[in-house]
Amino acid sequence: MDRKIFLKTSLLGALLPAGRKFSFSGQAEAEGPVVISTWDNRKANSAAWEILSGGGPALDAVEAGARVPEADPGDRSVGYGGYPDRTGKVTLDACIMNHESRCGSVAFLLDIKHAVSVARKVLENSPHVMMVGEGAQQFALDNGFKKENLLTEEARQVWLNWKKNPEYPVTSWDQYMNHDTIGILALDRQGNLSGACTTSGIGMKMHGRVGDSPLIGAGLFVDNDIGAAAATGVGEEVIRVAGSHLVVELMRHGASPTDACRRAVERIVNNHGGAMDGQVGFLALNKKGAYGGYAIQSGYSYAVRTLQQEELISSESWFG
Ligand code: SD4
């Protein structure tokens, strides 16, 4: 593992109060609650923490956390303020999953800001798991959500600018792969796991394109006996390996969260014969509260909040 992080966590281990376990493999093991999220989503973690620290359920916590970037116009790949597709439309993908393997998901959702909350309504108020497009929007309206314009002036300008020279970058690491998508995983005081994932997807994507984020098993997976995982980055790559499900299965077979994420990354890199320039980052949290992440390229980070810790961790990556 990254030496800096190892030293930081080792030092923390020495300072931790009784009641919290710590292993010197660099995996912190909290007794709970724990919340982790992709990228610098510390504000989302704080919203989740308010619920977790009061003894609330992980499902409420991850929904509350995911709603933070959805409402933030400064976050260019989630909810309001997200970059549009090639036709200038902001289309949202989101899902949520609880400790009983119940899940809800929406994809290609237009004009509704809190896609994660619509996904939760799918979980609670429908016999289905996934709804898309017009039907998902009608379902949202029927459940009390309001239509609103999600395209900010700043995002519209980026789109207008892109139209002058419309290249279609999907797999390369560039300005339209603005990675801020949130995957958020929580372990509550009752020892239950839940997760959520929400995004506006890759900027300047084709109209109708859906990524990994609303797909249970790709952008998110939770198995309350084992752990939870989430993904960010080029969704097409994550879907091809059923990434989050793969990470959880690797943990089931004994891998630590970081190692499970690393081995899922390895599968993706192997799909490209060992060389690629796209980015994917994974995040994992196991039933004991141990967590980790791993990415293809450098620059990926994830935010952690526990009783003792509130920080942004710079992830290890395949290509250094
Ligand atoms: C997608 N995985 O739609 C998302 C994009 C992403 O940070 O994670 N961006 O493919």
CA of 187: how far to CAs of 55, 101, 134, 165, 216, in Å? 11, 14, 34, 46, 18
What are the chain's domains? 7-319 (3.60.20.30)
User: Which residue in the list 9, 38, 152, 181 is annotated as catalytic?
Assistant: 181
Q: How far apart are alpha carbons 115 and 111 in whole angstroms?
A: 9
The residue behind tokens 């690797």 is: 250
Ligand 1 neighbour 213 (Cβ under 6 A): yes
Ligand 1 centroid vs 8 CA: distance in angstroms? 29
Two structure tokens written together for 230:
């989430």
Q: What are phi and psi of 293, to 5 degrees?
A: -155, 165
Could you give the 3-state DSSP secondary structure of residue 291?
strand
Best CA proximity match to 318, nearest among 261, 233, 271: 261
Measured CA angle at 237 (ends 179, 69), to 5 deg = 25
Full-model pTM: 0.91
Ligand 1 neighbour 117 (Cβ under 6 A): no
Could you give the 3-state DSSP secondary structure of residue 67?
helix
Would you say 93 and 213 are in contact if contact means Cβ atoms under 8 Å apart?
A: yes
Two structure tokens written together for 22:
């710590």
Beta bridge partners of 195: 97, 185
Q: Element (H or E) spanning 66, and its range?
A: helix 58-71
Best CA proximity match to 307, nearest among 10, 12, 41: 12
258 assigned to active site: no
Q: How far apart are alpha carbons 280 and 39 in whole angstroms?
A: 12
Ligand 1 neighbour 233 (Cβ under 6 A): yes
Q: Check residue 169 and give its pLDDT.
A: 60
What is the pairing mode between strands 103-110 and 130-132?
parallel
Ligand 1 atom 3: residue of nearest CA: 201
Ligand 1 neighbour 85 (Cβ under 6 A): no
Q: How far apart are alpha carbons 105 and 113 in whole angstroms?
A: 14
Q: Check residue 93 and give its pLDDT.
A: 98
CA 220 from chain centre, in angstroms, equals 7
The residue behind tokens 């504000």 is: 43
Two structure tokens written together for 60:
């409420």
Residue from 212, 280, 302 to probe ligand 1 pocket by mutation (most atoms less than 8 Å from CB): 212
Best CA proximity match to 197, nearest among 175, 174, 180: 180
Two structure tokens written together for 251:
């943990």
Q: How far apart are alpha carbons 123 and 103 in whole angstroms?
A: 5
Start-to-end C-alpha separation, the chain: 11
Q: Check residue 277 and give its pLDDT.
A: 86
Best CA proximity match to 230, nearest among 193, 270, 267: 193
Ligand 1 neighbour 279 (Cβ under 6 A): no
Q: What are phi and psi of 80, to 5 degrees?
A: -60, 125
Q: How far apart are alpha carbons 13 and 9 in whole angstroms?
A: 6
* Rounded mean pLDDT for each run of 10 residues along the chain, 320 residues in total: 34 34 43 91 98 98 98 93 95 98 98 98 98 98 98 95 78 60 97 97 93 98 98 96 98 98 98 93 97 96 95 95
Q: What are phi and psi of 306, to 5 degrees?
A: -135, -175
